[in-house]
């Protein structure tokens, strides 16, 4: 195994996952539509007052982003398991954690990145000031890869279960809490005119930690699932 062949394998896997995602456009758009709908409905259920919306906006947007990510996680490895390509992935001569990292990146591109792009528009609708919108986008840019990486662990553990969506949610939702707390706190601090660098640095640290160790945990879970 040489480095060019490993790079070709990673790029081929990334290209395959992106092509499959764009072919199933309804599944691709579902998380984004769900995200926009949840955020848009909250003012109807709470209060249209700008001050109230500004106060609730960080939590609303981040909870909606978390739930939108959950919608697409169940199929992250299930389709590969159903068509037999997951076994080929596990038996590949290339390091499985690196191949898994490519799948996480593909999932983030089709799920997390659209949320990052749409969130500032929804934040402006909820009356967030401009500095808070920048913090919101930065937090989502750092935090959504964590959601994909941690969620992929749950998806790998439940890949053999036909109805593992509920179990998947129970497994990973508690692990999402630190990201949710720090990211919402960063937006709240920025909206109040306070510095939010500390919270963003913590989220960046969590992202590096999750992207470093989650692929190894996922690889171990996939090997167990294939055996």
Q: At what angle do helices 3-23 and 96-107 cross, to 10 degrees?
A: 30
> What is the pLDDT tens value at each position of the chain, 227 positions in all?
455 688 888 898 899 888 888 887 777 788 899 999 999 888 887 777 777 788 888 889 999 999 999 888 877 888 788 777 888 888 888 889 999 999 999 999 999 999 999 999 999 988 899 999 999 999 999 999 999 999 999 888 888 776 666 777 788 888 999 999 999 999 999 988 889 999 999 999 999 999 999 999 999 988 887 76
Would the pTM count as exceeding 0.85? yes
Instruction: Break the chain into its structural domains and give their ranges.
Output: 3-226
Is the distance from CB of 143 to CB of 203 less than 8 angstroms? yes
Rounded CA separation 30/38 (Å): 12
């Amino acid at each position: 195994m040489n480095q060019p062949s490993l790079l070709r394998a990673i790029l081929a896997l990334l290209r395959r996952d992106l092509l499959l995602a764009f072919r199933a456009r309804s599944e691709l758009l579902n998380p984004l539509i769900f995200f926009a709908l949840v955020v848009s409905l909250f003012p109807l259920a709470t209060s249209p007052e700008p001050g109230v919306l500004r106060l609730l906006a960080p939590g609303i947007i981040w909870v909606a982003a978390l739930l939108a990510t959950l919608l697409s996680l169940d199929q992250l490895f299930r389709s590969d398991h159903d068509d037999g390509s997951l076994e080929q992935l596990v038996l590949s001569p290339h390091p499985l954690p690196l191949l898994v990292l490519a799948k996480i990146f593909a999932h983030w591109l089709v799920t997390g990145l659209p949320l990052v792009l749409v969130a500032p528009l929804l934040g402006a609708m909820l009356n967030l000031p401009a500095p808070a919108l920048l913090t919101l986008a930065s937090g989502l840019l750092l935090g959504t890869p964590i959601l994909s990486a941690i969620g992929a662990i749950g998806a790998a553990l439940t890949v053999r279960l036909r109805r593992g969506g509920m179990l998947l949610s129970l497994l990973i939702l508690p692990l999402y809490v630190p990201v949710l707390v720090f990211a919402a706190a960063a937006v709240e601090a920025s909206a109040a005119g306070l510095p939010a660098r500390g919270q963003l640095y913590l989220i960046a640290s969590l992202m590096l930690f999750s992207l470093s160790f989650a692929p190894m945990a996922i690889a171990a879970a996939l090997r167990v699932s294939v055996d």
